[in-house]
Chains A and B, each alone.
Chain A
Amino acid sequence: MFSLTFPRKFSKSSKQDDSMEQSAILQMQGVNKTFDKVVALSNVDFELKSNEILGLLGGNGAGKTTLMNTLFGLYKMDSGKIILNGQPVTITSPRDALSKGIGMVHQHFLQINNYTVLENIVLGSKVSHPFTANYKEEEAVIQKLCKRFGLDIDLSSHIETLPMGTRQKVEILKALYRGVKVLILDEPTTNLIPQEVDALFQTLKIMVKEGLSIVFITHKLREVLTICDRISVLREGKNVISLSRKDASDDMLVRAMVGEGMDLNKSVIFSQEGSRSSKANQKTVISLKGINKISDEKTQVLTDISFSVDSGSLIREAGVAGNGQRELAEVVMGIQSASSGSIFLDEEDITNVDTKNRIADGFVYIPEDRLSDGFLNKVSVAHNLILGYHHLEPYSKNGIINWKNVKNSSKKMISEYSIKTTGPDEVGGNLSGGNIQRVMIARAFSQPSKLMIAHNPTRGLDIPSMDFVYKKMFESSARGMASLVISEDLDELLLICDRIAVMYRGKIVGILPRDKFEKYEIGRLMSGYEQSSEETGKRA
């Protein structure tokens, strides 16, 4: 529907150009897929030409990953065809897909942490000496692949010691080792620092030169415009537009991704400068002094963390996953106790105050792992929406819950936050990931608060919803709320925060004010290079 509003010549001309240059290696036609009653893909066509990088662009829930999962044999399509090298094929499992030369690197890697890189790569494939674990021959083959594709990996190192970027290389190498011709990468730049992203793009270019074709799934515009030859946009499970990069522009792709309904001029995500909070009459809301945390496994997970957040400002913690952000969030919330150090709220020491009372003091937490830490699958949506606030009026009085009030507020939240559910009584487990996130967001904003700790608050949300969340955060911060946003998505951080603190291995290695935001500098900090000490000392 939307593509009709584009000048015809775009899609047409690009199609002709490309078909003259390259032939299609893979096509999917009329793919339909529904989960329960949710239509995930509706009559989607897809075409990948040989030796190209195709950007599959769309917001969360657009169906990008679902489409590629059906191609990779993880889901069975309800109807539709796959044509590989001109021949119709059916793909029933990932093993089947690999045997037909289609590989996929998922967002979350399936690797065995205490195995070596080599062992992880050969795992599940035929080996020459199955009973002796002698992988000499395989190693030689893999070494050759590394050289050919410019992947610099020490095959004998253990997975758990490797940074995310290298783990991803392992995953790519796994696919290459199985001789794939088509490689699907699902949001490959998540969790990578900018330097690693550059390296990944280099590798992709070499791979295309070596004869592979690549599908690059992403929701980031800049990435497709940098690396892709052609771009296909999906929205709400439908094709919107397919065009070659030279015909594409920012505006056009944004419009294709978000649809007609969204007012781009008022949006946070697409505003050029990002809206800023006023600097007037700020006061420190929370400050952490010398927080150390030693985990139950006796490892130091937080080292000497000190920083403060002012009212009306958003500070962002950046850092690659597993560098102590979750522990930090939980220490601030009082879910875990710090081994040493203290926390102050409005200059009052709250180090020993428990979570319940911190919530009563105006702390709000949007946890990272929604299924384990933020949501109750087995009880109703209404139960979920009042969690943590159930002892406050109007939800309850004198220890008795007023379900009528709870249901009324729930209904309001459900419509305000566009949570897709049959009503407050529906069992939480029926909700999709994006809607679970909306429930958590609705709950977080349902009470006035002093400090919000949001860990990947927009995970799983489509673009208009992300924008809605940012606006809500700005509104609250204009009312004086301080926010600590933790995310691994650097772009999100650059967009909404006033200051960025970078964590590496449980330490804050640098705090940058907004005017010093620079992607590569942050990337350097995220990989452990400390900021020059005079700058660190200033704000901490």
Chain B
Amino acid sequence: MTQIKKFFPYLIAVVAAFIAAGIFIAALKFNPIKAYETIFFTSFRTPNGFIQTLTKWVPLTLVSLAFTVPLSSGKFNIGAEGQMLVGAIGAAAVGITCASLPPILLVPMIILAGILAGAFWGLISAWLLYQFNINEILSTVLLNFISFALIDYVATGPWRDPAAGHPTTVAIGANGFLPMLVNQPPLTIGVILAALAAILIYFYTDKTTSGYELVVTGANPRASKVHGINIRQMFLFSMVIGAGLAGLAGAIEVSGTQHRLIEGLHSNFPTLGLIIGLIARGKNQAVPFVAFFIAILEVGASAMQRTLQIPVQVVLIMEALILIFILLSDLIKRRQK
């Protein structure tokens, strides 16, 4: 009962967001009912739609966790974009240079390289925070720009694929492709990796003493410090874990989907990651579910554009509206107290 009571405001907020977006769609002279039908059922009508949704769910979950894990300790990692890209660079570098290794070695190496490269990119911000108390929001955002230049450099450098019109590297070795879970339509084991990551994060923050320290640091850093917790270490640690998850997303994108490094491969995932993290109210265990919901919307949105010619941006508006209404419902709850 109390659980229902807790969720009720969120439900209202989501419904209200759909109504508001529906008015918007109607104002653009499209049929909102048809639009919503397409958005919600594309993911479930065909196996292809469902697998597309799962494929989108993987990076969405990981980049959202990249935001919420540091948030658990009270730090804002806005740099999932850069960390994902650098992770992808690391994964591609290993995939290209060690192409001849057998899959049993190469796949784990690519994944690990992605995680480590992403974590390293996060470590820069985390270390600046640890050592010089430099605001992590600024440093993570600024490092995003550096990562754009970096991917540009790699994708137009010696590994450039001369046949492609867009900055792209040559393909990684076929031995480095993520194994398939389902062949047709294609689904890689990336979905298992993401689910595993989400479960591990849940276990870590909820059941371990170190995770406890992370959570209490986020709840009140000053009181945590007074009670013997090394909060700066927790900040550093959570930033690095988050960045590692973003790096994993990059590696899965390279080894599972694109099979090469492409400029812009991060798509709009990192932005959606922030939205998902905020809709989940920063709760790590809620992230996979919210990410699934947003993946449905995203897949539905492209279908909607194809069949009804409604611009995909409508869905971005809808997502933003959901966020705004959920934040509003928090405000109302606080007022009622």
Is B212 engaged at the interface, CB distance under 8 Å to the other chain? yes
Q: Is A354 an interface residue (CB 8 A)?
A: yes
In the bound assembly, the distance between CA atoms of A375 and B216 in angstroms comes to: 10
Is B257 located at the chain interface by the 8 A CB criterion?
no
| Contact in complex: A383, B216 (CB < 8 Å) | yes
Given contacts A399-B209, A401-B209, contact A373 B215 (CB under 8 A): no
Distance (whole angstroms) from the CB of B47 to the closest CB of chain A? 40
User: Quick one: which of B208, B215, B223 contacts A374, CB cutoff 8 A?
Assistant: B223
Asked if B230 and A401 sit within 8 Å, CB to CB, the answer is: no
- Whether A383 lies near B215 (C-beta < 8 A) is yes
Chain B contact residues: helix, strand, loop or mixed: helix
Name the A residues within 8 Å of B215 (CB-CB).
379, 383
**Inside 8 A of B219's CB, which chain A residues have their CB?**
376-379, 383
> Contact string, B199-241, partner A, CB cutoff 8 A, digits 1/0?
0000000011110110110111011111111100000000000
Q: Are A387 and B209 in contact (CB under 8 A)?
A: no
Q: A199 on the interface (CB 8 Å rule)?
A: no
Q: Is A335 an interface residue (CB 8 A)?
A: yes
Cα-based distance from A48 to B216 in the complex (angstroms) = 48
Q: How far is the CA of A482 from the CA of B26 in the complex (A)?
A: 74
Instruction: Say which size band chain A's interface belongs to.
Output: 20 to 34
Residue of B nearest to A330 (CB): B226
A-B residue pair count with CB separations less than 8 angstroms? 75
A174-182, A249-257, A317-325, A388-396 - the one binding chain B:
A388-396
Inter-chain CA distance A354–B210, complex, in Å, is 17
Interface string of A355-399 (1 = CB under 8 A from B): 111111000010100001111111100010011101100001001
In the complex, whether A36 has a CB less than 8 A from a CB of chain B is: yes
In the complex, whether A240 has a CB less than 8 A from a CB of chain B is no
Contact A355 to B223, CB < 8 A, known contacts A376-B216, A387-B216, A401-B209 = no
Nearest CB in chain B: distance from A322 CB, A: 18
Set of chain A residues within 8 Å of B212, measured between Cβ atoms: 383, 386, 390, 396, 401
- Given the complex, which residues of B lie within 8 Å of A396, measured CB to CB? 209, 212
Within 8 A of B (CB), among A432-460: none
B335 cross-chain contacts in A, Cβ below 8 A: none
| Cβ of A333 under 8 Å from chain B | yes
A400 sits at the interface (CB 8 A) = yes
- Tell me how far the C-beta of B215 lies from the nearest C-beta in chain A, rounded to whole angstroms: 6
Q: Cβ of B337 and Cβ of A387 under 8 Å apart? A: no
User: Which interface class (under 10, 10 to 19, 20 to 34, 35 or more) fits B?
Assistant: 20 to 34
In A140-158, which residues have CB < 8 Å from any B CB? none
Contact A333 B226 (CB under 8 A): yes
Chain A residue with minimal CB distance to B220? A376
Contact check, B209 vs A390: say whether CB atoms are below 8 A apart: yes
Bound CA span A307–B67, Å: 48
**Which residues does chain B contribute within 8 Å of A330, judged by CB atoms?**
226
List the A residue with the shortest CB-CB distance to B217. A376
Q: Report chain A residues within 8 Å CB of B208.
A: 399-401
* With contact pairs A400-B208, A401-B209 given, residues A388 and B228 touching in the complex (Cβ less than 8 Å): yes
Q: Which of B37-68 contact A (CB under 8 A)?
A: none
User: Is A390 a contact partner of B213 (Cβ separation < 8 A)?
Assistant: yes
A355 touching B222 in the complex, CB below 8 Å, given contacts A383-B215, A387-B216, A390-B213: no
CB distance from B223 to the nearest CB of A (A): 5
B228 in contact with A354 (CB, 8 Å): yes
Within A321-348, the residues touching B (CB, 8 Å) are 330, 333, 335
Contact B220–A335 (Cβ < 8 Å): no
User: With A and B bound together, what is the CA distance between A378 and B208 in angstroms?
Assistant: 19
A378–B212 CA distance with the chains assembled, in angstroms: 13
Instruction: Give residues of chain B (251-300) contacting chain A, Cβ–Cβ below 8 Å.
Output: none
Task: Say whether, besides A379-B215, A391-B209, A401-B207, A373 and B228 are in contact (CB < 8 Å).
Answer: no
B216 touches A377 (CB 8 A): no
Residue of A nearest to B218 (CB): A378
- B227 & A355 in contact (Cβ 8 Å cutoff): yes
**What's the minimum C-beta distance from A3 to chain B, rounded to whole angstroms?**
35
Cα–Cα, bound, A365→B213 (Å): 18
- Mask, A399-418, CB within 8 Å of B = 1, is 11101000000000000000
Identify the closest chain A residue to B211 (Cβ).
Answer: A401
CA distance A330 to B228 in the complex (A): 11
A358 x B228 contact (CB < 8 A): yes
B222 touches A372 (CB 8 A): yes
In the bound complex, what is the Cα–Cα distance between A306 and B230 (angstroms)?
28
Residues of B within 8 A of A390 (CB): 209, 212-213
B222 in contact with A373 (CB, 8 Å): yes
Contact call A387/B227, Cβ cutoff below 8 A: yes
With a CB–CB cut-off of 8 A, which chain B residues contact A383? 212, 215-216, 219
Q: Are A356 and B228 in contact (CB under 8 A)?
A: yes
A388 B210 Cβ-Cβ under 8 A: no
* A373 CA to B219 CA, complexed, in Å: 11
Nearest chain B residue, comparing its CB with the CB of A356: B228
Give the residue of B210, B224, B226, B337 whose beta carbon is less than 8 angstroms from that of A365: B226
User: How would residues 458 to 469 of chain A score, 1 for a CB under 8 Å from any chain B CB and 0 otherwise?
Assistant: 000000000000
| A356-B209 in contact given A374-B223, A383-B215, A383-B216 (Cβ < 8 Å) | no
Interface residues, chain B, with chain A CB atoms under 8 Å away: 207-210, 212-213, 215-216, 218-220, 222-230, 337
19 residue pairs A–B, Cβ–Cβ below 8 Å:
A333-B226, A335-B225, A356-B228, A356-B230, A360-B228, A373-B226, A374-B226, A375-B220, A376-B216, A377-B219, A378-B218, A383-B219, A386-B212, A391-B209, A396-B209, A399-B210, A401-B207, A401-B209, A401-B212
What 6 pairs between A and B have smallest CB-CB spacing?
A: A388-B227, A356-B228, A376-B219, A355-B228, A378-B219, A359-B228
Given contacts A365-B227, A378-B218, A403-B207, 6 further A-B contacts (CB under 8 A): A356-B228, A358-B228, A373-B226, A374-B223, A379-B219, A390-B209
